[in-house]
Chains A and B, each alone.
Chain A
Amino acid sequence: MSSTPPSPSLAQGPAPPKSAPPIHVLPNNISKTYALIHPVLLLALVALRFDALVTDPVAELLSNLPFLALLQVTFVMTCLPPAGSAKDDDDNNKSTSANSTSNSTSNAGSGVILKPGKIGLRRKNTPKSDSGNLSAKLLPAILSLTLTTLLATPVLTILLILFGAPLTTHHAETLLCAAHMAVLTSTALIYVHGVDGSIWKEVWGAKRPADAVWGAALGTCVGAWFGAVPIPLDWDRPWQAFPITILIGAYIGYSVGFGLGRTVLFGKRLKIEEEGDVVDSKKVD
């Protein structure tokens, strides 16, 4: 949860043998450009609609949700490899796993050139027609949106309530807040990973190597966590009402996580256990 102290908790560990590698943004110019614009767009959306959000959170959240979903879908379809191809990517990587893992330790910025898997993917994709490409992307995008609505939103709603969101009142606020967070966190995750059990196990264990997708998802949660901090203060500001700060925190966390995941922290993993302890238990096992 708390990724603030990066030195001890986010350390570079050797990738476990079966772990899927971090996801790169597609290596074409449109994708790379849009990946830069996308978090800015999201933040701009929040900033622009902030006043409306404060006056009538429920209506505003509801009317913004389609736009957010649209933006996310555009983002994943433009910038990310869909689930199936990621699998290929994974397979390719496996054949050159030694190469790949050594890559992830090198600077992330030059990852594209050094990654044979990516090149292979591009080669494979190039011959396909545009329409086929589109449908190959649209389908996972729709799937990811559906699963986000059906699974991620209820899970996040429950989490919000467990963290102290009101149970008897503010149902619409909680649900919509969860929906926004779900679209932010899960759309991209489902799009690139599908329903691959082993990867989702990694996600639940927060073990994924950092990339734009995972960084953004984790960032959203951490941001929402910090968003709860100003609520109790007695400043009597209208924006201190329940879901607003949490959502703002989530959006900011998304953008920060997105940026950091792509760049500085790329490929690193969140550490929970004590360093020495892990070694001990390894020895034992």
Chain B
Amino acid sequence: MASGISLGSGSNRPDLNGLQTTASPSRLSERNDTQKTPVPKALTGRQSRPGKESNGQESVDDGLEREFKLRHLGSLGVLGWILLLHVVGIFFFTKGFLLTRMVLENKSSCDVLPFADASSHSAVGKKNEGCWHQKSFEKAIVIVVDALRYDFTTPFVSTVEGETSHLFHDNIPVLYETAVNTPENAFLLPFVADPPTTTLQRLKGLTTGTLPTFVDAGSNFAGTAIDEDNLVAQLRTAGKNLVHLGDDTWHSLFPDYFDPELTRPFDSFNVWDLHTVDNGVNGHLFPLLHPENATKWDVIFGHYLGVDHAGHRYGPDHPAMGAKLRQMDQVIRDLIAKVDDNTLLVVMGDHGMDSKGDHGGESNDEVDAALWMYSKRKFFGRTSPDTAVPPKTARERSIPQIDLVPTLSLLLGLPIPFNNLGSPIEEAFAGPGGQDWKNLVAVNRLTSAQIKRYQHEYAITRGADDGQEFRSLSFWETAEDAWQRSSKRGKPNAEALRSVYRSYREYQRHTLDICRALWAKFDVLSMIQGVGILLAGLVLLVFYARGIRSDRTELTKPLLSVVGLSSGLGAVVGGCLTFSGVADMSIAESSALSAAVASILGASWVVFAKPGHLSLPIPNSLWGWLAVMFTVTQSVGFASNSYTIWEDEILLFFLSTFGVVSGISSMRQTLTADRVLGVYHSILFVILGRIASFSRLCREEQMPFCRSTYYASATSSTSAPWQLAIPFLVTLILPAVVKSFYAGSKSYEGAATLWVGYGFRLGLFLTSIFWMLEGADDGEWFSLSKETLKSIRVILAQLVLGLAFAVGTTAFIYSKPCVSISVTQGSADSESKNKPTSSPSQPGRTTVTILGFGNIYGTRLFLLVVNFCLAIVLMQKPMGQGAMGLLLWQILSLLEILDTNALVMSNSAIGPIVLALLGSFYFFKTGHQAVLSSIQWETAFIPLSSVKYPWSPILVVLNTFGPQILTAVAVPLTVLWKRPLQLHDQSRSTSSMPNNPAIKILSDVVQAACTYILYFATINLATTMWAGHLRRHLMLYRIFSPRFMMGATVLGVVDIVLILFSVAGVRWGMLSVGEIFGW
């Protein structure tokens, strides 16, 4: 685009209405030859600076700039308020939805038996023989092999026809062999975890014997000390010297319980490191087993992490896993050789792992761990020949993990921890012959009595006594009756004892079931409050985004002041309510709640007070209806587990629908250029989306209709070698693609050449090298040591992040618009005849050529998208990098579609909504699913070698929600791409109130941002409501609850990104354009 215009003074700026009249600004580039273009301010300033008129212009410009900056800040304030509403709403729902259980601080004591008739209890002996029950072992070694799944330990049996054994099968045979060959020395059982299957939660369960609640899930980052009665505390009280080796989670749970000299904690979170922890544990464990050290300790807790880390890093079906399991096998054999007769050896997994080696959820693979106990003297028994051999699969004869607590307590002669709900394990108390029914009855009576005592206390503390308790109490009474009868008989026969044992057992399991149900107790009032705030916020947002006809930013000032006033007032009122005892919650909570309610009321008053501003937010075109349909049908669909599971396919379907409709709409365009470009980009859009859809990571429920391609195989979490080529392809293609879109409007000028051509390319290249080294490390291709490779990688990653964020942001803030302006002297121009030359000092005429004028706002702001794209690409696995490349391409394609279909200037809702769909779609294409176990925690270690706050969580967010973040940053482009330059009309402006086109742009940007939020807010409200409504659904924790958590998190992330980067970035874009061309 070359436009020749002659320079006059600043006052002579041409009327730009001529430019604005084109329906689609893309034609600017074709037409500008004959049209007048604005004169760059910089040139006017340089060439004619004669006096007042120019100064006047400057001051008007300054005023406009100030006005823009002020209103821009105001808009950020409004968005901030929307964010606060979301946070408060989500908080109140979460408070009521995530399960809570009261923590009783009672402790069991050696002197107080759980039942009143202490005299009848024959087994109480002197303290050194054990309290409550005769102790069987003096010492114990408890080994936790993190993520030891049950099927790792048993011989491979084919469950599906034609299934062959995997690399994780048959590598740790020692447990099974000993249990089968010497059943009196060892037993092996499936050991089922209560979800959430995170290590911290599991350790709590394994030591307290009670059920977890969901609140603690995900706090794997920072555990907190257990204040309930637990096994470790009981050991400590009994004067045992405890040693802990391995995973340092134990230390956050049990601070100061362990012998400080012998204990060796290791960092648990670096999942890329397979060997440090395990070698450390071995190095400190075996010396302790030496006879001369035997008196130094009583109980050793060893926690191996290698298996878990191998799973996270490579997935179970990988040679590294096989090697790790064989190492564990050897460790256990060595332990067997070294323990003495009085030491109990326990080996267990705290949870399993899913097919990719991750855990956290409640799928069978994740909850099925293994438990193995060993004693050198003949001790264990089987009560029936059916139970002689360990079960073939984890679904048979499994025991809950909390059963470890009473078992270990009674074997070591300790009181059972107060909160325990588990049962003694049959094999451990049946005696070598398997017929010691008396012992079984004794331990089960003790356990049952303790459970009853706990139930009683819990009911008293809660202050309520409901029917559920009586139902389980009847089991207790039946069992007690049977016991009384059999004990009166003097010498009871085995059959009678067996039935007494059974009835105690029944009581224990029944109580466990009741407690499971009881603690799934929701605070419905709080949930309704949360949903109410979210709903009201959504309604307001709908009107603010789609219903306001006038300038949105005019509302900012009254809105902010009313919101500020009313929320302040509400906060005070809420605080008073709590203070006076009317509201039954903490001051902070009630203040937040009433502040939110008051600000909603205040804002409604501002928005709805002047009906003239407002129109009903009903779509007036097929585009609008499409946008509504996409959002609403998806939200409704989340009520069904199927549509939640298949969300990725549904998003592809919607995106293809949009592409086809845009293709059809493009065919209708009158201008050939629009038609051809529109159809081309529509086809491109659909095809790119379909290509991206081949990158999949299937969730368990999608099986068998889904094939994972994200990693090398379905049971791995590393990339295949061919996938390492993807980053290089992205390096090669993506900058060229961006360049071609810039070149389309002749905007590949100025900062763009440097940043897209060199900076972006360099960053992508470094990323490719990073991931190649990563692959080399995994495959051990180089002879370089792991440490060297890791430090090279960290440096590379930090370079790329520095390039994207430090250099990129600086470049974005200070760079000029992507235009090239050249001035040539002398050549005559016909147009100049119309223009009086006001500057006498300037003879002749000047031709100014401006390239890249047609897309001045869009190309400038897109630099920010490029920055974020680079950082997010680095954080993705190779397959995800390809997906992110396709996403950037699709965003550009979408912008062209919007432009050719005249949707940029009409503020259609479809642009932001399709961007939101893209963001959600690519969430699934970067190896994620709406389940906890798909979070790629290990990406926190891409640019760091240890956990650092706050960076590590931010990096994981950047990996997980990268696509939504990228599309959020691109949102303003839906109203800025190829938008013609608009400057204030000087001829008509009065000195008092000049019209300010920048404000109109700001209003449009805010509208687009709010529309984008609208999609995620609707999804969030829907998933929230469905999760609340379906809170008793079988699939709650598998499907609805994770989707709700994802929806809430995405909404928060998107709000923050829009405020901090996306809408904020518009300020720099506008300022830099204003600096060159004036306002």
A-side residues, CB < 8 A to B, are 1-2, 5, 8-9, 159, 161-164, 167, 201, 204-207, 225, 228, 232-234, 270-277, 280-281, 284-285
Chain A residues within an 8 Å CB radius of B661: 1, 272
Which of B239-247, B615-623, B797-805, B953-961 is the contact stretch?
B615-623
- Mind listing 9 A-B residue pairs with CB under 8 Å? A159-B660, A163-B657, A164-B652, A272-B665, A273-B621, A273-B623, A274-B623, A275-B621, A284-B22
Q: Would you call B908 and A274 a contact (CB within 8 A)?
A: yes
Q: Would you call A281 and B902 a contact (CB within 8 A)?
A: yes
Which of B508-516, B637-645, B820-828 is the contact stretch?
B637-645
Q: Would you call A2 and B906 a contact (CB within 8 A)?
A: no
Q: Would you call B656 and A272 a contact (CB within 8 A)?
A: no
Q: Would you call B664 and A205 a contact (CB within 8 A)?
A: yes
Do A1 and B660 contact each other (CB < 8 Å), given the known contacts A162-B687, A162-B690, A232-B642?
A: yes
Q: Would you call B690 and A206 a contact (CB within 8 A)?
A: no
B650 at the A interface (CB under 8 A):
yes
CB distance from B541 to the nearest CB of A (A): 21
Do A163 and B625 contact each other (CB < 8 Å), given the known contacts A8-B619, A272-B664, A276-B620?
A: no
Question: Which of A159, A167, A205, A285: most chain B Cβ within 10 A?
Answer: A205
B629 at the A interface (CB under 8 A):
yes
CB distance from A85 to the nearest CB of B (A): 26
In the complex the two chains form, what is the Cα distance from A233 to B693 in whole Å?
20
Do A274 and B621 contact each other (CB < 8 Å), given the known contacts A2-B626, A164-B693?
A: yes
B646 at the A interface (CB under 8 A):
yes
B668 at the A interface (CB under 8 A):
yes
Residues in B675-701 with C-beta less than 8 Å from chain A: 686-687, 689-690, 693-694
In the complex the two chains form, what is the Cα distance from A270 to B625 in whole Å?
13
CB distance from A161 to the nearest CB of B (A): 7
Q: Would you call A233 and B642 a contact (CB within 8 A)?
A: yes
B23 at the A interface (CB under 8 A):
yes
B649 at the A interface (CB under 8 A):
yes
List 9 other contacts, CB 8 Å, given A8-B622, A284-B22, A285-B23.
A2-B629, A162-B659, A164-B653, A204-B663, A225-B657, A234-B641, A274-B621, A277-B621, A281-B23
Chain A residues within an 8 Å CB radius of B668: 205-207, 272-273
Q: Would you call A228 and B653 a contact (CB within 8 A)?
A: yes
In the complex the two chains form, what is the Cα distance from A206 to B667 in whole Å?
8
Chain A residues within an 8 Å CB radius of B564: none
| Selected contact of A5 from candidates B625, B640, B642, B693, CB within 8 Å | B625
Q: Would you call B649 and A232 a contact (CB within 8 A)?
A: yes
Which chain B residue lies CB-closest to A235?
B642
Which chain B residue lies CB-closest to A168?
B707
| Selected contact of A8 from candidates B625, B663, B908, CB within 8 Å | B625
In the complex the two chains form, what is the Cα distance from A162 to B619 in whole Å?
27
Chain B residues within an 8 Å CB radius of A272: 621-623, 661, 664-665, 668
Chain A residues within an 8 Å CB radius of B620: 8, 274-276
Which chain B residue lies CB-closest to A5?
B625
CB distance from B1038 to the nearest CB of A (A): 13
Which chain B residue lies CB-closest to A280?
B23
Chain A residues within an 8 Å CB radius of B906: 274, 277
B-side residues, CB < 8 A to A, are 21-23, 619-626, 629, 640-643, 645-646, 649-650, 652-653, 656-657, 659-661, 663-665, 667-668, 670, 686-687, 689-690, 693-694, 901-902, 906, 908
Q: Would you call A204 and B693 a contact (CB within 8 A)?
A: no
Q: Would you call A273 and B650 a contact (CB within 8 A)?
A: no
In the complex the two chains form, what is the Cα distance from A161 to B653 in whole Å?
10
Chain A residues within an 8 Å CB radius of B645: 232, 234
Chain B residues within an 8 Å CB radius of A8: 619-622, 625
Chain A residues within an 8 Å CB radius of B657: 1, 163, 225
In the complex the two chains form, what is the Cα distance from A276 to B906 in whole Å?
10
Closest 8 CB pairs of A and B: A205-B667, A274-B621, A281-B23, A232-B646, A205-B668, A272-B622, A204-B667, A206-B664
In the complex the two chains form, what is the Cα distance from A273 to B641 in whole Å?
35
Do A161 and B646 contact each other (CB < 8 Å), given the known contacts A228-B653, A275-B620?
A: no
Chain B residues within an 8 Å CB radius of A5: 625
Chain B's interface: helix, strand, loop or mixed, by majority? helix
Do A277 and B653 contact each other (CB < 8 Å), given the known contacts A159-B660, A284-B22?
A: no
Q: Would you call B622 and A2 a contact (CB within 8 A)?
A: yes
CB distance from A19 to the nearest CB of B (A): 12
In the complex the two chains form, what is the Cα distance from A159 to B664 in whole Å?
13
In the complex the two chains form, what is the Cα distance from A225 to B626 in whole Å?
14
CB distance from B624 to the nearest CB of A (A): 7
CB distance from B704 to the nearest CB of A (A): 12
Chain A residues within an 8 Å CB radius of B667: 201, 204-207
In the complex the two chains form, what is the Cα distance from A1 to B693 in whole Å?
22
In the complex the two chains form, what is the Cα distance from A233 to B656 in whole Å?
20
Chain A residues within an 8 Å CB radius of B650: 232
Chain A residues within an 8 Å CB radius of B623: 272-274
CB distance from A208 to the nearest CB of B (A): 11
CB distance from A167 to the nearest CB of B (A): 8
Which chain B residue lies CB-closest to A200?
B667
In the complex the two chains form, what is the Cα distance from A5 to B627 in whole Å?
13
Which chain A residue lies CB-closest to B633?
A229
In the complex the two chains form, what is the Cα distance from A285 to B27 in whole Å?
12
Chain B residues within an 8 Å CB radius of A285: 23, 670
CB distance from A18 to the nearest CB of B (A): 12
Q: Would you call A9 and B622 a contact (CB within 8 A)?
A: yes
Chain A residues within an 8 Å CB radius of B621: 8-9, 271-275, 277
Q: Would you call A234 and B693 a contact (CB within 8 A)?
A: no
Chain B residues within an 8 Å CB radius of A271: 621-622
Chain A residues within an 8 Å CB radius of B21: 284
Q: Would you call A164 and B656 a contact (CB within 8 A)?
A: yes
Question: Which of A163, A234, A280: most chain B Cβ within 10 A?
Answer: A163
Q: Would you call B625 and A9 a contact (CB within 8 A)?
A: yes
Chain B residues within an 8 Å CB radius of A162: 656, 659, 686-687, 689-690
Which chain A residue lies CB-closest to B24?
A281
In the complex the two chains form, what is the Cα distance from A208 to B656 in whole Å?
22
Chain B residues within an 8 Å CB radius of A228: 653
CB distance from A112 to the nearest CB of B (A): 30
CB distance from A8 to the nearest CB of B (A): 6
CB distance from B648 to the nearest CB of A (A): 10
In the complex the two chains form, what is the Cα distance from A161 to B645 in whole Å?
21
Chain A residues within an 8 Å CB radius of B908: 274
CB distance from A232 to the nearest CB of B (A): 4
Chain A residues within an 8 Å CB radius of B670: 285
CB distance from A204 to the nearest CB of B (A): 4
Which chain A residue lies CB-closest to B665?
A272
In the complex the two chains form, what is the Cα distance from A271 to B621 in whole Å?
7
In the complex the two chains form, what is the Cα distance from A205 to B668 in whole Å?
5
CB distance from A222 to the nearest CB of B (A): 11
Chain A residues within an 8 Å CB radius of B665: 205, 272-273
In the complex the two chains form, what is the Cα distance from A228 to B654 in whole Å?
11
Question: Which of B624, B650, B668: most chain A Cβ within 10 A?
Answer: B668
CB distance from B1016 to the nearest CB of A (A): 22
Q: Would you call A163 and B622 a contact (CB within 8 A)?
A: no
In the complex the two chains form, what is the Cα distance from A18 to B643 in whole Å?
45
Chain B residues within an 8 Å CB radius of A159: 660
Which chain B residue lies CB-closest to A273?
B621
In the complex the two chains form, what is the Cα distance from A146 to B689 in whole Å?
32
Chain B residues within an 8 Å CB radius of A206: 664, 667-668
Chain B residues within an 8 Å CB radius of A167: 694
Which chain B residue lies CB-closest to A232?
B646
Chain B residues within an 8 Å CB radius of A2: 622, 625-626, 629
Chain A residues within an 8 Å CB radius of B646: 232
Which chain A residue lies CB-closest to B666?
A205
Do A204 and B625 contact each other (CB < 8 Å), given the known contacts A233-B642, A285-B670?
A: no
In the complex the two chains form, what is the Cα distance from A56 to B659 in whole Å?
33
In the complex the two chains form, what is the Cα distance from A164 to B690 in whole Å?
7
Chain B residues within an 8 Å CB radius of A164: 649, 652-653, 656, 690, 693
